[in-house]
Amino acid sequence: MKKALIFILAFVAITTFVLLSSFYTVNQWESALVIRLGAPVAVIGEPGLKTKAPFIDTVAIFDTRLQLLEPPSEQVILGDQKRIVAQVYTRFRITDPLRFYQSLQSMESARAQLALSVDTAMRREFGQIDLPALLSANRPAIVSKVHEDVKAKFAPLGLDVVEVRLHRADLPLETSQAIYDRMKSERYRQARLLRAEGKQWAQEIASKADRERTVILSEAQRQAQITRGEGDGEGNIVLSNAQKGDPKFYAFYRSLQSYGKSLAGSGPVLLLAPDAAFLKALKSGPPEATAARGAE
């Protein structure tokens, strides 16, 4: 009884295993390649539950969705011997599972070969141009040549390279630093030149102002001397006329001026002889007063 139960359980297990080995599922974004004893026999593109011969058939499932390949950045030498750090990304999909399996076998192998081909094509195209051309409006056309080259190479392998794009193109860090240092030194040189020119202009303006100031002062002094001379001349004429009109009053006026100048700088006590000529005007008074006293 136990042997019969064991036999039944073994039969059920084997049958279940065979049935499970006979079915496989293909999703909407996949294609399947049925391989019988190492040789591809059928390509399944329709999604759903599929059957295969157990034990002798194997199924390779391929993702037919758009794939992204983005290798790390690499230094590339341009035609003018300048170096840039470039990074490209590639989008591709499997269009023929049979050719893909026969030529590339797996997705890992496809990615490795595609990255190598893109890198080779990019270096070949970039090696024929200079940096200004890469930074100009011709950049899409240059990258398009890389795309066309890679696309033509992988089309017979069941792989459709949809696009190749340049993600970034920068100068290497040491080159950027050297350019920055050169730009900084150039700006310092221009600043020193501008400061020197400013100092020269300032000296020229100051010299011109000093010359104009000297000329203005000389002209003012000359005009002042002329005016002072004219005033002195007119004053002498007035004094001369006054002296001629009334000599006694003029003499008295001159005495008062002498008193003012002499007494202004003297001390509180001034000692003079009674008969000093200096006191004559103070004793006798104005000429009119002296004449009036004589008449009396």
Average pLDDT (173-180) is 68
CA distance 66 to 265: 117
Q: What is the identity of the amino acid at 11?
A: F
Residue of 134 and 67 predicted with greater confidence: 67
H or E element: which one contains 124?
helix 107-126
CA distance 184 to 40: 66
Give tens-digit pLDDT for 244-266.
Answer: 666 766 777 777 677 666 666 65
What is the overall mean pLDDT for the chain? Answer: 78
pLDDT category, 54, cuts 50, 70, 90?
confident
Beta strands in 19-135 (DSSP E): 23-26, 30-36, 39-44, 48-51, 57-63, 67-69, 74-77, 83-94
Q: Which of 95-99, 113-117, 168-172 has the lowest mean pLDDT?
A: 168-172
Q: Which of 39-43, 174-178, 281-285 has the lowest mean pLDDT?
A: 281-285
CA distance 109 to 274: 142
Percent of the chain with pLDDT over 90: 6
pLDDT category, 14, cuts 50, 70, 90?
low
pLDDT at res. 295: 47
Predicted TM-score (pTM) of the model is 0.54
pLDDT at res. 272: 60
Q: Which of 167-171, 181-185, 188-192 has the lowest mean pLDDT?
A: 167-171
Summarize the chain as % helix, strand, coil (round to 5).
60, 20, 20
pLDDT at res. 259: 66
pLDDT at res. 127: 84
Residue 154: which region, alpha, beta or left (left: phi > 0; alpha: psi -120 to 50)? alpha
Give tens-digit pLDDT for 77-106.
Answer: 888 787 788 888 899 998 888 888 888 888
